[in-house]
Amino acid sequence: MHLIIKATGTGAGILSHLLAKNPNNLYDRIEKEARVRIVFTVSSEEETEAVIYVTPDPIELVKGSSSAHNDITQYINDREFVTSSLFCTYIRPALGTALNGKPKEAYLPWVGQRLALELSFGPVASNLPDRTLEELFTALGYEVVLERGEAEYSFDLKNRSSVRYIKLKGFQTLQTALQQLFVLIPALDDYKHYYISEDEVDKIRRYGEGWLQDHPQRALILKRTLRFAGVIKQFEALEGRTQNSGGASVDENEKEAAVKGSMDAPNALPDQSFESEAPEEPKVRLNDLRYAAIAATVEALQAKASIVDFGSGEGKLSAILANVPGVRDIKAVEPSATAQLRAMDRFAKLEGRQGTIVPKPVTGSLFYFDESLRNKDVMILCEVIEHIDEHRLARVMETVFAEYGPKTLIITTPNKEYNEVYEMEQEEMRHGDHRFEWGREAFSAWCSRWTTAFGYSAELKGIGEYMEGFGCPTQIAIFTKEETSQ
């Protein structure tokens, strides 16, 4: 992960002074669990270039993690390589002088001087489409170039890769340019390694001063940096009070009251409110609606004694199905050991309950055939297929239909058309790990492919609130094996 800062033309030589780094010396420090190095590859009055390179310690990255000893995902994530919120945390101490605009007194007049800058950083792993990435920076006056790596694939994946390198070119003060990057780099990634707390609200307000308020993608930036609706509301309230007071600082007691609550809770609900007014009716979550729809579908089936819940996660759906009359056996299949441990805790609470069976956790994946899962009454893939690369999905489904051969297969997946109702960008996906999302027509065509080839019929429905022209937020397909005449 790296950031290259290049200045050319008038004032280029001042770059090293604004960064408070001697261009003739190598800056080499350990910050948290990473090695941060800064080297000047060019240093003259006409052109100066500083390369900031970070090498995290992969062992330190997982220390203290609750999943470090129970889950293999620590070995297959990209946090060690991509330019993200972690990267900003690592380099902030090294760039503190420039970020705060406080070089030596002799160079203070240059803090507000615009320079001809080129900023290159990456790799960035973002689920945002190229167009949106470009709009985030062109709105700030930069020319934008997006590049992908030179790796060659035997199939056309390069142009669909979420990993890109970003190069910006424009006239800007170094302080403002860095502050913009420290807001936007974490916004590009769909992952943050720290809690969203009062400090984060203050940071966005401080670094966003003078440019964020008028940015056309301001709502998207706040959504991806502050995450939770309640926190965003408090940010807006603080911004409004600041502007209404003619730029005066907000009283510290008011600020504390405004952000008081569980902002720093990592699992706060997106629609969590911090208002002190009368409580609202609890909102029904889409996930609960999906589980209820699947449970109702299973209950209506004649053959439902044996169930396979693929990608069962923490076992919520399996626990619900355990109460459906007529169900005798549930295999909750999940590759994550951490999720399985939580599922086992949930299943243990079902022991001894009248009319309830206890699901059996199974370590497994759709990519590995398990003979014990064949010929079951029901197989469920709830919000699973969109996490599989499209070029691999066909092979997985062939295994499901031809080898496992369930009497009934239930699949749910997001309806891409409904993303517009959520005011999402056209190519934005609902989750950072989604490899694709289909509209109703595409999903219907895909389902027809399997009914024709393997002797199943399919019924397609929607789950969640229906909107004219967009359908429902979730699609559900119920495949039923057709009986063959003897």
pLDDT tens digits for 384-429? 999 998 888 999 999 999 999 999 999 999 999 999 888 777 677 8
The C-alpha atoms of residue 179 and residue 219 are separated, in whole angstroms, by 18
Q: Is the pLDDT of residue 67 over 60?
A: no
Q: Give residue 49's pLDDT band: very low, low, confident or very high (50, 70, 90).
A: very high
Cα three-residue angle 125-131-134, rounded to 5 degrees: 75
Return the biggest CA–CA distance within the chain.
94
Average pLDDT over residues 163-173: 93
Q: Is residue 122 classed as helix, strand or coil in its secondary structure?
A: strand
Determine the distance from the C-alpha atom of residue 80 to the mean position of all C-alpha atoms in its chain, rounded to a whole number: 16
Q: Within 10 Å of residue 45's Cβ, how many Cβ atoms? A: 11
The pLDDT value given to residue 323: 94
Q: Using a pLDDT cut of 90, give the percent of the chain over it.
A: 57
- Give me the phi and psi of 421, to 5 degrees please: -65, -35
> What number is the average pLDDT over the span 89-97?
90
List CB contacts of 297: < 8 A, sequence separation 6 or more. 410, 476, 478
pLDDT at 264: 35
Write the CA distances from 233 to 167, 207, 266, 269, integer angstroms. Answer: 33, 18, 17, 14
Spell out the domains of the chain, with CATH numbers in brackets. Answer: 2-194 (3.30.1610.20), 286-481 (3.40.50.150)
Q: Is the pTM of this model over 0.75?
A: no
Average pLDDT rounded to a whole number, residues 81-109: 88
Q: 215 pLDDT exceeds 90? A: yes
Confidence of residue 56 (pLDDT cuts 50, 70, 90): confident
